Structure 1
Amino acid sequence: MNLLLNPKQYQDRHYPDERSKEIMLQTIQWFEEKGLAKQKEQYHNKQFAEDFQAFMTEEGFFETLFLPAGYGSDPHQYYSTYRMYEFSEICGFYGAAYWYCYHVSTLGLDPVLMGDNEEAKHLAAAKLKENAFCAFGLSEKEHGADIYATEMMLYPQDDGTYLANGSKYYIGNGNVASTISVFGKMADTGEYVFFVVDSAHPNYKLVKNIVDVNQQYVAEFELQDYPITKAEILTVGPKAWDDMLNTINVCKFNIGSGATGIVTHSFYEAINHAFHRHLYGQRVTDFPHVKRLFADAWLRIMGMKLFGLRATDYMRVASENDKRYLLYNPIMKMKVAIQGEKVHELLFDIIAAKGFEKDMYFEQAVTELTGFPKLEGTRHVNMALIAKLIPSYMFMPGEFEEVGKITDNRDDTFLFHQGRTRGYAQTKFHDYMIAYRRLAHLPNVQVYIEQIEAYKAYLALSGRELARQMTDFDYLLAVGELFTMVAYGQLIIESAQLEGVGDAVMNQLFDVFVRDFSAYAMELYGKPLNTEGQAEAIQKMFRRPIPNPEEFAKVLEEEVYSLADVYTQNP
């Protein structure tokens, strides 16, 4: 069963209402009517996506997608992570410029929706009708990811108002956004604060676009005695800090879905080219190394898609008593995006020079995707979060009702009321082996289970020594990559069961994962911090997948190569 996005067959997808289907189909139609040539012309001219902004504003798509019930003009309004996943993937499929404008708009609006100011929420919802693009004013030039050190200040005035002074850096849509959520501090108390500004205000100074390699406008801006009243203040105090982190929790989910869209388009271009090319008297796709490269690329994309769909379900059932999304979300951001980079490496080895041609989508995709794993926290920052959950996930499973596939019109309101960000390491998860046991009859899943057991034994052997070792970020990354593989495989198995993916595909997918697990184990094995006992334990993770040539050939012909010529973007 092929789950890859194909815009030419998208009308067959199921949605709970016509508005949702309309958003997806009309967006696809808009891109296809624009065509690849015009899209690439705008890309090479570094043209900001003003046409996308006008389209989103005119159709009101962001209003429908972004707002929970009670806001906006639609009486049937609801916020659906599933819809957001689908739309994000479509935007990524056609180009990072469009995806980025969408992504930073969600970042900009969510602090408003999480905040304490109801008037500001309704005003921001109304502004979406005039200008769909929003922005998130968090980072600063001198501090980067060190958001504790923010220097943006609100200075109290005698009349009860404030003047905002300071600058922000790395701010997507900062050139045009009418709703910009700005994170700063109260000058008199030092408390954190979120407030909202408009890029059209005369006291908002747009300094420059800090990038010059693509279509995005990533702004540096300054607020110079920008007047702020209580109507523009969203939240003050510890909750402002929590809202900032919770906004990132919600929105970085877009990174994985956008990356999945990008590499899916690249895959279609690569297989269309290779399938019709002959070298040395045979079709390129008949070379043994090309077969392996294409199979691995497709299997990795399938893994990305399966994980994303399942992680969406856990976002949608999130509650005060179920915060499993706090693990799956950073994996979606980091692991899925990095998998996308690996897919591009595989495909580039096949199409070689073709991947540099300016008329190909592939040429821009490879460049644009490299930024995705670096957005909303570096790999190190996200892995540090993930690693805190190792003890709870691996050794202390909790009890949860089974979660099914969720594509209905429920309102994912908890995401706007996540509460305090304390107690992260105590987050509970259900037993990961429930999923693995369902596919333990597959040879490569069984090998993978044995690798997981060896990893768990290494963790138990390491004991408290491991916490000290993981203060070294280099060591933490190596330990965390292996842990991530456990959760990644778990959700993919759960998703495959719901989507009807067959055993042959899953056994071949875990052929890839067994190799990955061994590679990450070798990376950990080489770390000088290991004790002799740890080094011996790590060696037990080194395993080879169990080959099945007939099964590989079947998956290649029936699943992978069957995708040749099924999609080509309109010229």
Structure 2
Amino acid sequence: ILGLGPIWMSQNEKAKEKAARLLKEGAIFAYGLSEKDHGADIYSTETSLTPMPDGTWVANGEKYYIGNGNEAEMVSTLGKIKDGTDDYTFFATNFRHKAYELKKNVVSHQEYVSNFALHDYPITEDDILSRGSHAWDCALNTVNVGKFNIGPASIGVAEHCFYEAITHASNRILYGMPVTDMPHARKNFMDAWLRLVGMKLYQRRASDYFRNASQNDRRYLLYNATSKMKVTLQAEDVIDLLWEVISAKGFEKDTYFHMAAADIRGPSKLEGTVHVNIQLIRKFMQNYFFNPAEYSPVSPDFSDKDDLFLFNQGPTRGLGKIVFHDYKPVFEANKGLPNVAAFMKQIDIFKEMLEKAGPNEAQDMDPSWSLPLGEMFSIVVYGQLILEQVGIGRVDLDIVNQMFDFMVRDFAQFAMQIYGNHSSKDAQRDYCVKIMLIKAVPSPEQYNSVWERYVSVLNGEYAMNE
């Protein structure tokens, strides 16, 4: 996806036709963006394209952490043109060329994540994919597509582990009882399963907004970033909850879990870290809460149409001008659920805090303050799209109420972080206390019902081949 992005978004028809032919032949592609000394800081890109007297160019520079760079027939490579403009440019390179030095695999896994260097690599007009602001937009818009796939990847890893863990724990007898009869173990499984359900509901609904985006509806930029930072972190929470139950079993070589426990830490750190995406979504907070706009409802989209806008997303600027539909109606429609009602109270207090005791400039620039604030915002967005999908998919409302139990707890947890921050003002702490004092509403009967009907029955549903 990443390697193809700048090609799809290019106006170079020859490059597109070449990529299409290579795809049919089974070729792979790579995205040559990051550099060892600069990571994802593309402002500091050092790879260069130097013009030659005959109208061609030569490329020089080194790229680092590039998946598929060992065998990619087309590597979409980002550089700067050294013609006095310092324009950004994407150009295509090939791993077979003698001027393309494959230096090493930078990871210890079976997949190849390359470090390669270009030494006077010849580039013609046919190899130029984009330049100037278009190249910059292609870089970011490609990531907008690629990072959306990371959420489903995390869901798959975590769900696989869940099935493995609950089957193990249900059939393990300790102190005369199945492990799943122990209250703390059951609580972990319930929390893990509910978080998995939330992840899937959110991702499903977010995909509708992504597929139906346009220049006049760029709400997907908030929902994609929330998927990237929220779904991936929820998957890590799921693994942690399960591991506390299965303990040493999670290290055994004949489990999927032992691999997943390491791999699950990766997605939140790829395609822009959690921190980057939280700071991104904070740009949308003002309009989300205080300037709602009217939009036509977005229907579920399972069609096989071409999602052409994804490959022509346009300029990446103007995020602060993006407006959103009002989040309140979908919460109001579900306020009969006690934990949704509790969460709504927390949202109202949070919104009032933003309005009357929002962060000052120093707090805004301090990640220890701004990140938990962004986390709280993300939970509101997360809850909104979950409830939208609940209305579409007719999810059992007992599940929904239990799901918002953990969301109320999570919201309070981040309020605690702001409360404890040394730079927080008294008024901000007062709002945080009000949020923390709102508790999830327990319902033991409902909790046990969801466990019996939906969670415990997953015992034995999946086992890895011997």
TM-score by length of 2: 0.98
1:24 corresponds to which residue?
A: none
What is the total number of aligned residue pairs between the two structures?
464
Structure 2 counterpart SS, 1:181 = strand
2:301 maps to what in 1?
Answer: 406
Per-residue deviation, residues 84-109 of structure 1 (Å, max 9, x unmatched): xxxxxxxxxxxxxxxxxxxxxx0000
The answer on 1:110 being equivalent to 2:5 is yes
Question: Aligned match of 1:431 in 326, 331, 335?
Answer: 326
Structure 1 CA distance for aligned equivalents of residues 211 and 100 of structure 2 = 37
Q: Partners in 2 of 1:418 and 1:495 — Cα distance?
A: 25
TM-superposed CA distance for 1:468, in Å, is 4.1
Bigger shift: 366-375 or 529-538?
529-538
Please tell me whether residue 509 in structure 1 is matched to residue 429 in structure 2: no
| 1:195 matches 2:95 | no
CA drift at 1:467:
4.4
Which secondary structure does the structure 2 equivalent of 1:107 belong to? Answer: coil
Structure 2 residue 248 is matched with structure 1 residue 353:
yes
Aligned to 1:30: none
Q: Does 1:153 align with 2:45?
A: no
1:194 Cα deviation after fit: 0.4
Q: What secondary structure sits across from 1:145 in the alignment?
A: coil
1:374 correspondence with 2:269: yes
- C-alpha deviation, 1:499, in angstroms: 1.4
1:472 to 366, 377, 382: 366
SS of residue matched to 1:252: helix
1:211 aligns with 107
2:257 maps to 362
SS at match of 2:49: strand
Whether contact under 8 Å (2:33, 2:40) holds in the other structure is no
Task: Tell me which residue corresponds to 1:518.
Answer: 412
Instruction: Tell me if structure 1 keeps the 8 A contact 2:255–2:464.
Output: no
Contact 2:228 2:274 in 1 (8 A): no
1:368-420: CA deviation from partner (whole Å, max 9, x where unpaired): 11011000111221111011111010111010111121101222111111111
**Structure 1 residue ranges without an equivalent (≥5):** 1-105
Q: Does 1:264 align with 2:159?
A: yes
1:532 maps to which residue? 426
Q: For residues 258 and 82 of structure 2, what CA distance do their matches in structure 1 show? A: 47
Equivalent residue runs for 1:44-59 within 5 Å:
none
Letter paired with 1:173: N
Q: Conserved in 2, the CA contact under 8 Å of 1:380 and 1:477? A: yes
The CA distance in 2 between the partners of 1:466 and 1:374, in whole Å, is: 28
List aligned pairs for 1:304-343, cutoff 5 A.
Answer: 304-343=199-238
The match for 1:169 is 64
Contact 1:131 1:177 (8 Å CA) reproduced: no
Deviations for 1:289-342, whole angstroms, at most 9, x for unmatched residues?
111010000000001100000000000110011111000001111110000000
SS in 1 for 2:77: strand
The aligned counterpart of 1:252 is 147
Instruction: Verify the 8 A CA contact 2:144 2:221 in the aligned structure 1.
Output: yes
Extract structure 1 runs of 4+ deviating beyond 6 A.
Answer: none
- Kept after mapping to 2: 8 A contact 1:131/1:178: no
Name 1:456's counterpart in structure 2: 351
Within the candidate set 490, 500, 505, 2:394 is matched to 500
* Partner Cα separation in structure 2 for residue 152 and residue 402 of structure 1: 45
SS of aligned partner of 1:559: helix
Q: CA deviation at 1:462?
A: 2.1
Task: Please point out which of 173, 187, 203 is paired with 1:278.
Answer: 173
Cα drift, residue 457 of structure 1: 0.7
Q: Percent identity?
A: 49
Structure 1 contact 327–386 (Cα < 8 Å) conserved:
yes
Structure 2 distance, partners of 1:555, 1:482, is 27
The structure with higher relative contact order (CA 8 Å, sep 6+) is 1
In structure 1, what residue type is equivalent to 2:89? Answer: V
Alpha-carbon offset, residue 261 of structure 1? 0.4
CA offset digits 1:206-229 (Å, max 9, x no partner): 0011112x2221110001111110
Residues 144-174 of structure 1: per-residue CA shift (max 9 Å, x gap): 1211010111111111111111100010111
What secondary structure, in the 3-state scheme, does the structure 2 residue paired with 1:179 have?
strand
- The one-letter amino acid paired with 1:535 is R
Q: SS where residue 528 of structure 1 aligns?
A: coil
Distance change (3 Å), C-alpha of 1:151 and 1:471: same
2:439 to 539, 544, 549: 544
- Write the distance in 1 (CA, Å) between the matches of 2:110 and 2:227: 25
Partners of 2:276 and 2:408 lie apart in 1 by: 26
Q: Mind listing any 5+ residue stretches in structure 2 that lack a counterpart?
A: none
Hey, what's the Cα distance between the residues in 2 that align with 1:208 and 1:397?
50
> 1:219-264 deviations in whole A, cap 9, x for unaligned?
1000111111011100011110011011001110011110000001
Alpha-carbon shift at residue 177 of structure 1 (Å):
1.1
1:1-32: CA deviation from partner (whole Å, max 9, x where unpaired): xxxxxxxxxxxxxxxxxxxxxxxxxxxxxxxx
Q: Normalised by the size of structure 1, how large is the TM-score?
A: 0.80
